[in-house]
Structure 1
Amino acid sequence: MTLLTGRTALITGASGTVGRGIARRFAEEGAALALHCRTGVAAARALAEEIGAAGGRAVVLRADLTAEADARRLVAEAAAWAGDVAGGRLTDLVNNAGVQPVQDLPSMTAAEWRRVVDTNLTSVFATTQAAAEAMRERGGGTVTHIASVEAALPAEGHAHYAAAKAAVVVHARAAAREYGPYGIRVNTVSPGLIERDGLAEDWPEGVRRWRDAVAVDRLGRPEDVGDACVFLASPLASWITGHDLVVDGGVSARTPW
């Protein structure tokens, strides 16, 4: 037995670096997976094949989560797959999909603001509401939003991103209160800087500053975020809801003196 045996999870943004790390850890712990993507179809399909080759079950579903109807369709398709193919029900949602463009605040347009807020926050509202409707009638479940340490420590050029992630944290707290009576737990995971191919070459100064600040002497790994999400979805966290689990190697614990 593993921590998530018999469960079915929908992972949004599963074709990205962090999404793949979350999905792999859920699969390793026994969950069947609905892998959402918008444009990264090839990466999502490769991940599904990898999970299948290891003895797991996964399906790839496409949706534009900035459109409420598409977000609701995605959840309905995941729930239907869970019942018809995976032999269970939709028990877990991980809201990982998001964008992180750099744009200074003085020159930011309302359209640029809305794109980031709709992708990172409004999509969370829509998918959570739809998933909770499916879960509340069938014994509850868990929802985990991927927020960011920038919810509390915004970086320059990320005003829209940081504001959206701060709202994601508060949304989880509000949702935890309102969905708790139905057996649905809602939490957030706030990662710090996560390693990806080419990051050190693309942003050498940022990586250097992060290494200077971190208590654990490395960048984060996608599976670090996945471990946190597995924990929050598992029975080990059965009395944890409305909580923001920071996964940043200790950067947030650094003092200014």
Structure 2
Amino acid sequence: MTHLLDGQTALVTGASGGIGRAIARRLAEEGAAVALHCRTAVAAAHETAAAIGDRATVVQGDLSDERTCHRVVREAAAWGGGRLTALVNNAAVQPVQPLPGMTAADWRMVVDTNLTSVFACTQAAAELMRTQPDGGTITHIASIEATHPAPGHAHYSASKAAVVMHARAAALEFGPSGIRVNTVSPGLIDREGLEEAWPEGVRRWQEAVPTGRLGSPEDVANAVVFLASPLASWITGHNLVVDGGVSARPTW
């Protein structure tokens, strides 16, 4: 049986969390060998890698550091026999902090983790991909907050808006080298304990979303698989919104 991603080697950053785990699993299910990046949740990353099997490995590092980004990409490619065909920039933080009291250090922490890491990992991956006959794909995980900000998320929303534009700019510059760059922007994704921690927010979402439910990590992972596959061979510079249609709802 053939799969959509047979022969590919992928790196997923932030692969120890719910969305990252689902992305890594779905890439592997479609035939890719997968390097799972983590920063501190090493045990969780190894658990996911073990579930995938011998086509998975774990690489560790703090991606707010540019040199670490390049090292992580190099390690993933070396494990893949010198090839890296897909990068998924998923690692991110989402603190809640009112804008009036936010410091420049608070701002930089979020921007360095969510945006500068995307820049550095993409640059490192593209250096490898442009030497490969078949190029490669790079997919950033952004958010619908790139266009629909929430209170307390000024730094997060701004970083995700920049991630969307980075993908478009990178698509322009790397396209001639056979590298496609796209973005997936999820809406509210379910996770363990979310409804208990934020019942009012979950209720409002379920009332507003046309499909009547929260998203699942697999919804995001399926979009990533599509963009990394030959099915999307003429798609680049695109922001694929995965939000159950909530962004289509009028706000007036």
TM-score (norm 2): 0.98
* 1:213 Cα deviation after fit: 0.9
Which residue pairs with 1:22 in the alignment?
23
1:82 aligns with 2:80: yes
**1:119 maps to which of 113, 123, 128:** 113
Alpha-carbon distance in structure 1 between the residues aligned to 2:251 and 2:123: 40
Matches within 5 A, 1:63-78: 63-78=61-76
**1:185 maps to which of 155, 166, 180:** 180
Alpha-carbon distance in structure 2 between the residues aligned to 1:134 and 1:210: 41
**1:149 maps to which of 144, 151, 167:** 144
Matches within 5 A, 1:158-177: 158-177=153-172
Point out 4+ residue stretches in structure 1 off by more than 4 angstroms. none
* 1:172 Cα deviation after fit: 0.2
**2:59 maps to which of 55, 58, 61:** 61
Matches within 5 A, 1:35-46: 35-46=36-47
Any gaps of 5 or more consecutive residues in structure 2?
none
Q: Secondary structure at the match of 2:85?
A: strand
Alpha-carbon distance in structure 2 between the residues aligned to 1:5 and 1:137: 20
**1:213 maps to which of 208, 211, 234:** 208
Alpha-carbon distance in structure 2 between the residues aligned to 1:216 and 1:192: 12
Percent pairwise identity: 72
Q: CA RMSD in A?
A: 0.8
Alpha-carbon distance in structure 2 between the residues aligned to 1:180 and 1:228: 20
1:130 aligns with 2:124: yes
Alpha-carbon distance in structure 2 between the residues aligned to 1:130 and 1:26: 21
Q: How many matched pairs?
A: 250
Any gaps of 5 or more consecutive residues in structure 1?
none
TM-score (norm 1): 0.96
Which residue pairs with 1:200 in the alignment?
195
* 1:256 Cα deviation after fit: 2.4
